[in-house]
Amino acid sequence: MILRRCTGLCLLLAGLVATNSRAAPMVSGPPPGVVITASPDSQKIFVGSPTIAILPDGSYLVAHDYGGPGAGARRGSTFLVASRDRGATWTKLTEVADQKWSTLFVHRGALYLIGTSARASHLIVRRSTDDGRTWTNPTDHRHGLLAEGKYHCGPTPVVVHAGRVWRAFEQFAPSAPEREFRAFVMSAPEDADLLDAKSWTRTNQLKFEKSWLNTRNAEWLEGNVVVTPEGNVVDLLRVEAHPAAGASFELPGAVRGIPRFEVAAMMRVSPDARTVAFDPAKDFVHFIGSESKFTIRFDPVSRRYWTLGNKITNPASGADWVHSPHHQRNVIALGSSADLREWREHHRLLRYDEGAVVVKEGSRVGFQYVDWQFDGDDLVAVCRMAWNGLNYHDANTVTFHGVRSFRALTMADSPPDLARPR
């Protein structure tokens, strides 16, 4: 089916139809994939921020955090779960208090967990030398407390390049009337003590301007550090592109012609790791999955960049905030690019009721925040999944997925829609 660009009248009619749509029914059957964690109370306890690492012995390690009004002692803690049989079964290792929004990565024989503290949102990093069973405690600036303040991130990649370890972050703007992020990148020499705050160099911060895309919110967030084909470091950021009140559905200016909900921002990092720059006339790119958190990694075999993210297949589903297409998280797509600017969709890994209008508080299924790794010819992935959840956003399971022979997959190989199995 060809999706034609929607006029203002089309959006108005779609919004009226969406307003009268009913809430999604209960979902039947178990969730897809292998369940790593299931919430004991899907209405009050939510799971988030899944991240996966492959240890030197080939085993998988997954971390995720807990939240929600019923989380109690779990709230703000990150749980570590391991698999020794390629994802078939999982065993809890430990939990780490006061840690959220984190990425697992292996570096020089040690395992690291980098993100923010749950209580104060400081930037922190922990190290484990026993495959995730025990962790250091970020008590001060020499032992993992990288910066104090109110920071934000997601489980996005850590990249080693040009002798340095790189990671993207955002800081909440002080006294902003709404959520507003200032994006920046931190890096450290790859042979430095990564727990020592003095090892890390931090760029300047940049904020997103609503006028660039005529957006409702001034948000870019959960950036991916990626190395371009030319060897430069960039931060490819998710962008909130829901149009401002009264704004045209069409994107303006230099980004005209890109679908509104498929535009990401490419922030350029200077070679000395001290400066980030962004030019709205040339640094927006067409990217599948830009409205939700995504993970990009470079594959040296295919010489392409690969991603798993949310494909918005219903871009004209409603103009109002409750029915905005940016809420659609019921499709996970596999895409790739040779240059980070031209992206191609190859395959749809997960689909549920793909053509339905996604209602912010009424949709009970969501596949989101997928993190993944290369494992030979396969991908191994973890998903924050709402399956009969409170709504699509507040997930109640973390699931594992193996994607076999990913480089050869096509759209024809996509599995059936889980709401309408063949």
DSSP state of 341: S
* Domain ranges (residues) in the chain: 31-406
* Closest residue by Cα to residue 385 from 266, 292, 285: 292
Query: Does domain 31-406 correspond to CATH entry 2.40.30.10?
Result: no
Contact partners, residue 127, CB within 8 Å, separation at least 6: 110, 111, 112, 135, 136, 144, 194, 195
Contact partners, residue 24, CB within 8 Å, separation at least 6: 353, 356, 359, 362, 363, 364, 365
- At residue 24, the pLDDT reads 55
- At residue 420, the pLDDT reads 85
Q: Rounded to an integer, what distance in angstroms lies between the CA atom of residue 197 and that of residue 114? A: 13
Q: Are 263 and 255 in contact (CB under 8 A)?
A: yes
pLDDT of the chain, 422 residues: tens digit per residue: 223 333 332 333 333 333 334 445 678 899 999 999 999 999 999 999 999 999 999 999 999 999 999 999 999 999 999 999 999 999 999 999 999 999 999 999 999 999 999 999 999 999 999 999 999 999 999 999 999 999 999 999 999 999 999 999 999 988 766 788 999 999 999 999 999 999 999 999 999 999 999 998 889 999 999 999 999 999 999 999 999 988 888 898 889 999 989 999 999 999 999 999 999 999 999 999 999 999 999 999 999 999 999 999 988 777 788 888 999 999 999 999 999 999 999 999 999 999 888 888 889 999 999 999 999 999 999 999 999 999 999 999 999 999 999 999 999 999 999 998 76
State the pTM of this model: 0.92
The DSSP element (H or E) to which 9 belongs, if any, is: helix 8-19
- At residue 25, the pLDDT reads 63
Q: Rounded to an integer, what distance in angstroms lies between the CA atom of residue 16 and that of residue 24? A: 17
Q: Rounded to an integer, what distance in angstroms lies between the CA atom of residue 249 and that of residue 243? A: 6
Both structure tokens of 68: 């929600």
